[in-house]
Amino acid sequence: MFTGIVTDVGEVLSIEDRAEGLRRLTIGCAYDSTTIAIGASIACAGVCMTAVETGKSGNRDMFVVDAAAETLRLTTVGRWRAGTRINLERALKMGDELGGHLVSGHVDGLAELVSREDLTDMARLTLRVPQPLARFIAPKGSVALDGVSLTINDVTDDTFSVLIIPHTLSVTTFGALKAGDQLNLEVDVMARYAARLMERT
């Protein structure tokens, strides 16, 4: 589990295609690689991935993950290239501060950035979600976009808006976002359970 509070912006250093649609990615990071256990979960742009190797690439710490065909198809991982910057978060440990909301790292779909409005002290992002996911999006609810926990502001049919403060713009990949970009979307697990309960009543 994660909280949606990004702790590093990593960089894809290399990509290797393997048999049966598997893709191996080496990701440079600011984490001390000696503290990353093999098998540890790390959220990479909101996608829970498993470290299969750790070490150094030159003088830079790095970890290696494998992405299966399903992940490549359903998330932005299939579009990553060497040099792609991604939000990173290591898994929660007992006693950690829960600063955002509970995030599983299981992406539900892709949200498209419809527009970006840069305001005096923040940026307003308006995004469109796949219609089947729109019922999970509610004003003042939570959502994770590329691994970042955010509070939803306005909702209209299949679009919603979020406000991004300067700190978030500076410590995540959001500063470089532009209209047309796609982001990994994970809806709030509480919204999912609430919708399921409504279906059964």
Beta-bridge partners for 24: 16, 66
Q: What backbone phi and psi angles, to 5 degrees, belong to 78?
A: -65, -15
Residues with Cβ within 8 Å of 8's Cβ and at least 6 positions away in sequence, in order, are: 29, 30, 31, 88, 89
- Does the pLDDT of residue 195 top 90, yes or no? no
% of the chain beyond a pLDDT of 90:
84
**Cβ neighbours, 10 Å, residue 140:** 8
Please give the C-alpha separations between residue 198 and each of 108, 138, 157, 189, 191, in angstroms, as whole numbers: 20, 15, 19, 14, 11
Instruction: Specify the CATH number of the domain 109-199.
Output: 2.40.30.20
The token pair that represents 160 in the structure block = 């919603």
**Cβ neighbours, 10 Å, residue 179:** 11
Beta-bridge partners for 126: 115, 161
Residues with Cβ within 8 Å of 173's Cβ and at least 6 positions away in sequence, in order, are: 9, 45, 85, 86, 87, 146
* pLDDT number for residue 189: 75
Domain with CATH 2.40.30.20 in the chain: 8-90, 109-199
Residue pLDDT, tens place only, 11-20: 999 999 998 8
Give the residue numbers annotated as catalytic, written as ranges. Answer: 2, 41, 48, 50, 68, 106, 151
Give the predicted TM-score (pTM) of the model: 0.92
What's the rounded Cα separation, in Å, for the pair 154 and 163?
A: 10
What mean pLDDT do residues 58-66 have? Answer: 96
- Does the pLDDT of residue 97 top 80, yes or no? no
On whether the CB atoms of residues 33 and 55 are closer than 8 A, the answer is: yes
Residue pLDDT, tens place only, 113-152: 999 999 988 999 999 999 999 999 999 999 999 999 999 9
Confidence of residue 90 (pLDDT cuts 50, 70, 90): very high
* pLDDT number for residue 42: 98
* CATH class for the region spanning 8-90: mainly beta
Confidence of residue 63 (pLDDT cuts 50, 70, 90): very high
